[in-house]
Structures are given as structure tokens and as C-alpha cells.
Amino acid sequence: MVFIHDTQRSLAAAAHLVNTLPGFDDEDALTSGEDLEAFLSAHPYTGAIRRDEAELEALRGIRSRLRRLWEVDREHAVPLVNDMLRDGHALPRLVIHDGFDWHVHATSDDAPLATRILVETAMAFVDVIRSDQYDRIRLCSADDCDSVYVDFSKNGSKRYCDTGNCGNRMNVIAYRRRKARGTV
Ligand SMILES: [Zn+2]
Ligand SMILES: [Zn+2]
């Protein structure tokens, strides 16, 4: 595993949340209670979850801020991460619950969900930065996709996001180009 389990989980959740932003040709995928449920069932959170309008708005509101982490390099991520920790009043402590092994919570369980996700993402990026693995924080290589992902593969060779079918789609396009050129 490239990152420790809770870091990996937090990064995956943050990437999912960022990818609900409207992209090149897809629509905003976090506009309703149903969308929120889909996100929460993919990434279960303990602690207070209100499932109301304000919570949905707050989650929608942190997405661009989280996305910035995918648009900068390691050095420029540092102030962003530090700001998130400060704004979320992060106070790390070790906890164990619900079948997870010991891991870090840096907010109280009754802090707003958006604050918890902001801080949890920042804590995960602390790990990414400290372990010098920022090159695994990536934007999809497909021409027509701007989704984000984190490369958890062993050899760091993942090129496409998980949201669409980008790898297959780009392979088909490349094959057609080669075929048109008569090189297949
Ligand atoms: Zn936990
Ligand atoms: Zn993609």
C-alpha cells in the first residue's frame, strides 16, 4: 500500500467529492439529497451527519478548495494544507472505532461534516507531503476529462481517473488513429 489505510481512504473520498464538480461535459453531481447519500454510502463517515440543505451546501462549498490540492505541486500545497488545518481547528488525536484500526481524528465528532472532511483531507495530504509522494496526486490524462485521482498503484503507473471510462476510451481513440494512419 502506498499510503496508510486511513490516508488512502481520506484521499479517495476527497477525490470523489472533487469529481462531483461539473467538468468538461458532465454536470454537477452533488446537487441533491440523493447525491449526498451516494457520496456518504461510498465513503461512510462516523460522527454527526445532518443530511440537510446546509450540510449539502457546505460540502459543495469545499470542493473547489479541495480541488486546488490537485492543481499545485508539493511545495505550493503546503500553505493550502496548513490553512485547512488552521481553519478547521485541527487537533489530532488517536482513536479506534467501528472495526477500524488506530487512526487519527483531528476534529471533534460533532464538528460539521464539511469541516471534518476538510481537515481529514488536509491530514491525508500531510502524509502525502511528508512521504514525498505528491506525484501521485494527479489529473486524468484523457484529453476530454479533468477529473482528479490519486495513484494508489504499486508502480505509480496509473494514468486515468476512475470516474468515467477514460482508459478504455483513450485506447479506442488511439487505436482508431493508428488504424486511420494504416499502422495497425
Ligand atoms: Zn475514524
Ligand atoms: Zn478521466
DSSP string computed for 49-66? ---SHHHHHHHHHHHHHH
**Residue 139 parent element (H or E):** strand 137-139
- CATH number at 163 reads 1.10.3300.10
Average pLDDT (32-55) is 94
- Position 9 scores a pLDDT of 94
Quick one: which ligand is closest to 138's CA? Answer: 2
Quick one: which ligand is closest to 163's CA? Answer: 2
- Centre of ligand 1 to C-alpha 173, Å, is 42
| Side chain identity at residue 166, one-letter code | C
- Position 99 scores a pLDDT of 87
Average pLDDT (45-70) is 96
d(CA 76, CA 66): 13
Q: Is the pLDDT at 25 greater than 80, yes or no?
A: no
Q: Structure pTM? A: 0.92
* CB contact at 8 A, 149 and 161: yes
- Position 23 scores a pLDDT of 85
Q: Is the pLDDT at 183 greater than 80, yes or no?
A: no
- Centre of ligand 2 to C-alpha 154, Å, is 20
Give the domain range for residue 81: 5-180
Quick one: pLDDT band at residue 174, thresholds 50, 70, 90? Answer: confident
For the stretch 59-79, pLDDT in tens is 999 999 999 999 999 999 999
- Centre of ligand 2 to C-alpha 120, Å, is 24
How many structural domains does the chain have? 1
- Centre of ligand 1 to C-alpha 109, Å, is 9
For the stretch 111-162, pLDDT in tens is 999 999 999 999 999 999 999 999 999 999 998 899 999 999 999 999 999 8
Outline where 19-165 has alpha helix (H).
Answer: 33-42, 53-71, 74-87, 113-130
Average confidence score pLDDT of the chain: 94
Going from the C-alpha of 87 to that of each of 50, 79, 107, 116, the distances in angstroms are: 21, 12, 11, 11
- Position 117 scores a pLDDT of 98
